[in-house]
Structure 1
Amino acid sequence: MTDQLTSAITGYWDAAATAFDAEPDHGLRNDRTRAAWDRRLRAWAPADPADILDVGCGTGSLSALLAAAGHRVTGVDLAPRMIEQAEAKLAATGLTGRFLVGDAVCPPIGEERFDLLLSRHLIWTLPDPAAALRQWITLLRPSGRLVLIEGRWREADQAGHPYVPGADALPWNGGVTAETLAAAVRPLVTDLRIHPLSDDPDLWGHRVDDERYALIAHA
């Protein structure tokens, strides 16, 4: 990622941080929406307390659910204001989590490895998603899980205004279909499964008519 593009993306998500949680599936302020995500995450995460890396964690809503379920969560995001909100969110509820400002593709975690790597609605923003997937697999312990919550959006406008200049050149700008993502991930993993999510309006706070899904795989 060029320095110019990195700066533009950081600025975009910093500016979006204040209003980010207004979206039902971002802030999880509605009880039904929060409960719907909690059920899904508990089904996808290990039953026992685990080390989980939430890349592109945003304001930390999913990190908070995982921490509440007893997991040890590390969240990484490029936007400092997103990280500030994530830290405040967990602190306000008495939960424990670690949040780091950094590139979600190459998180600043040193030699640490994780039992689960979670990414939601991030991969469409990456200049080289295939390289990111290869890197993420190396961050998992043997038999670790990869959980990618993605979709092919009807609108690529993610925060109410156009994305950064040059976004039209991103390989998966506007999202990625389950078929395309599975083809990219399958050579890297075992036991790959796709869980359709478009038919559960509680997850999104309303009905959706575009493609949304979770890809679950083991390293």
Structure 2
Amino acid sequence: MTDAAFTQVFARALQGHPCHVVEVDGYGEPRSLPVADWARAADEADHLLLDRCEGATLDIGCGPGRLSARLAELGHVVLGIDVVPEAVAQAIGRGATALRRNVFESLPGEGRWRTALLADGNIGIGGDPAALLGRARELLDPRGRVVAEVAPPGLGLRTTWAVLTCGDERSRPFRWSVVGADAVPGLAAGVGLRQTGLHRAGDRWCVVLEEAP
């Protein structure tokens, strides 16, 4: 199997090739990457997140843009960012405004966004949820909020090394975290945020975080 950049393997997945996530530490079985869920049109279940986005919204890790596009349809100013060029191209192709950017790089509108959206478990990006939430706080207007999809309560916080496999290619290892709803208040408090909402729709959960008083 050939080693490749994460962006290259993820691009193949977005193009329709079967792809799996494999945890390097051997915890659990390889899991199919749910690309079809990300590439479909936004549905009623997505309104668990969409209905809590206020004003200008930064969609962090926007993927192929289903939520960015729907927010634009709803009248929001919205910018999607992603490190994978194929994801950005697909987001733009469905009518969203998107840029190839790392969330920790300089971004348009820093300090003026009303909502930072972390959908589809993207609170785990980089394997350091506290650092990501702290960065999101920097990007927000003081009246802003983070809307983040999380795992169900009881799972706590778990961080692992993982790789993506797609055909004969394997990505270089990357860090990823799974954050249960029960772990969010402590993470938020550590970066000056507070949880103001916990919401559920079926098997999906999301939290709303705002500036701590």
Q: In structure 2, what is the equivalent of residue 215 of structure 1?
A: 207
Contact 1:16 1:159 in 2 (8 A): no
1:195-210 matched pairs, under 5 angstroms: 195-197=199-201, 199-200=202-203
Segments of 5+ residues of structure 1 without an aligned counterpart are 1-6, 91-96, 201-211
Post-superposition shift, 1:108? 2.9
Q: Show the 5 A alignment for 1:50-61.
A: 50-61=55-66
Which residue number in structure 1 is paired with residue 44 of structure 2? 35
Distance 1:102 1:218 in 2: 24
Q: Does structure 1 residue 166 correspond to structure 2 residue 173?
A: yes
Task: Give the number of the structure with larger relative contact order, counting CA–CA contacts within 8 Å between residues 6 or more apart.
Answer: 2
Structure having the higher helix fraction is 1
Q: Which amino acid aligns with 1:216?
A: V
2:79 maps to a residue whose letter is T
State the partner residue of 1:18.
15
Q: CA RMSD in A?
A: 3.1
Q: Does the CA-based 8 Å contact 2:79-2:99 persist in structure 1?
A: yes
Indicate how the Cα distance of structure 1 residues 213 and 22 shifts in structure 2: closer, same or farther if over 3 A, else same. closer
- What SS is found at the alignment partner of 2:71? helix
C-alpha distance after superposition, 1:161-187 (max 9, x if no partner): 5974434xx362xx2211123321134
TM-score of the two chains, using structure 1 as the length reference = 0.70
Aligned match of 1:184 = 187
> Which 4+ runs in 1 deviate beyond 6 A?
156-160
Q: Tell me if 1:44 matches 2:52.
A: yes
Asked whether the 8 Å contact 1:28–1:61 carries over to 2, the reply is yes
Q: For 1:19, what is the secondary structure of its paired residue?
A: coil
**1:47-79 deviation digits (Å, cap 9, x = unpaired):** xxx211001000000001111110001010000
Distance, in Å, in 2 between the alignment partners of 1:11 and 1:61 is 21
Distance 1:125 1:177 in 2: 14
- Aligned partner letter, 1:35: E
TM-score by length of 2: 0.72
Q: 1:213 to 1:186 in 2, by over 3 A?
A: farther
Greater share of strand residues, 1 or 2?
A: 2
Map 1:75-86 onto structure 2 (within 5 A).
Answer: 75-86=80-91
Quote the Cα distance in structure 2 between the aligned partners of 1:98 and 1:136.
19
What displacement does 1:159 show? 7.3
Query: 1:87 & 1:171 partners in 2: Cα distance?
Result: 26
Q: Secondary structure at the match of 1:104?
A: coil
**In the aligned structure 1, how far is the partner of 2:186 from the partner of 2:170?**
26
1:106–1:135: 8 Å Cα contact kept in structure 2?
Answer: no
In structure 2, the gaps of 5 or more residues are: 18-32
